[in-house]
């Protein structure tokens, strides 16, 4: 396993190098001059040239890329064009809301979607199965921002049960923290739950048709023991795979969700940076999200052996 992990880490470094090259190239591929954006509308051509020289934009591409990678290796993601603060500082200030939202969504989605998929497979062809599949289709069909606004209208504006927007830190109390995350988590997690429930049902149906499941039923084991102790464990590999892949849905959906609910997280920081063409922040956030996603995929691969001892690395 050690050799496999080292090999995967080596592949991860190659992937991150390609991502870094792509991210840095954004500065040259996107229309507009960053120096002109920083200088403003009333700046002269000389002012723009001075800013370009200060930022090193007059250097050749490879020289700029080499210097940028060197700073990355020292943990320096650059400095924001507009706030003049280190990108690492800005990300650190916004990381708690995003982590709170994604973790809460992940836990709730898995705890709800996996049992729904198991029930749908165990009651295949019944009203329970059709209800779960209908939820899956609806979850994939409704965009995150549409569901978010519907939740705000019903639960915040009409019923006044939950706050419309904003975020409270966990240090301010459990309920203030949770109340500001319930609606965003539902909006963000619906499509994730639909995906997990659908894959869980398909994996369970495949396992339930195997001979050893029929043998377990013939021996008189309780249906719940057959479902959880035999079928669900053996269906774990595709389920854990889709849970890991679905992290990309959470990352992309968090940007929309944080914008709708005015949550001061990394997603909102990304949107603001894109609107202002603050390239260092955009580059830093993309690198961060890419690194997290690659690491999660590695952990998912390593977890396969917990569900299937036949897997060898």
**Residue ranges of domains in the chain, CATH in brackets:** 2-73 (no CATH), 95-307 (1.10.3720.10)
pLDDT digits (tens, 9 = 90+) for 215-252: 777 777 777 777 777 777 777 778 888 888 777 778 77
Give the phi and the psi of residue 202 in degrees, each rounded to 5. -65, -45
The answer on pLDDT for 13 being more than 70 is yes
pLDDT-based confidence at residue 41 (cuts at 50, 70, 90): low
Q: At what angle do helices 279-307 and 2-29 cross, to 10 degrees?
A: 160
Owner of token pair 């977890």? 303
Distance CA 87, CA 93 (A): 10
How confident is the model at residue 67, as a pLDDT? 81
The answer on pLDDT for 212 being more than 80 is no
């Amino acid at each position: 396993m050690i050799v496999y992990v080292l090999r995967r880490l080596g592949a991860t470094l190659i992937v991150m190098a390609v991502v870094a090259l792509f991210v840095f190239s954004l500065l040259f591929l996107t229309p507009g001059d960053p120096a002109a954006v920083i200088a403003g509308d009333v700046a002269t051509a000389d002012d723009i040239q001075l800013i370009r020289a200060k930022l090193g934009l007059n250097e050749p591409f490879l020289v700029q890329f080499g210097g940028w990678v060197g700073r990355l290796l020292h943990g320096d993601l650059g400095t924001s064009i507009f706030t003049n603060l280190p990108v690492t500082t800005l990300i650190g200030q916004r990381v708690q809301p995003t982590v709170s939202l994604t973790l809460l969504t992940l836990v709730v989605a898995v705890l709800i979607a996996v049992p729904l998929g198991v029930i749908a497979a165990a009651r295949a062809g019944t009203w329970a199965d059709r209800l779960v599949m209908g939820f899956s289709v609806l979850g994939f069909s409704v965009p995150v921002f549409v569901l978010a606004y519907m939740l705000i209208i019903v639960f915040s504006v009409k019923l006044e049960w939950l706050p419309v927007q904003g975020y409270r830190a966990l240090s301010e109390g459990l309920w203030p923290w949770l109340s500001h995350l319930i609606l965003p988590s539902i909006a963000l997690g619906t499509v994730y739950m639909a995906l997990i429930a659908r894959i869980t049902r398909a994996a369970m149906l495949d396992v339930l048709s195997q001979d050893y499941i029929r043998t377990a039923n013939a021996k008189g084991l309780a249906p719940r023991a057959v479902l959880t102790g035999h079928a669900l464990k053996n269906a774990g590999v595709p389920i854990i795979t889709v849970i890991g892949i679905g992290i990309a849905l959470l990352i992309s959906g968090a940007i929309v969700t944080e914008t709708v609910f005015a949550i001061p997280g990394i997603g909102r920081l990304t949107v603001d940076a894109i609107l202002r063409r603050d390239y260092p922040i955009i580059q830093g956030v993309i690198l961060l999200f890419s690194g997290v996603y690659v690491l999660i995929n590695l952990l998912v691969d390593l977890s396969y052996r917990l569900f299937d001892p036949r897997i060898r690395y």
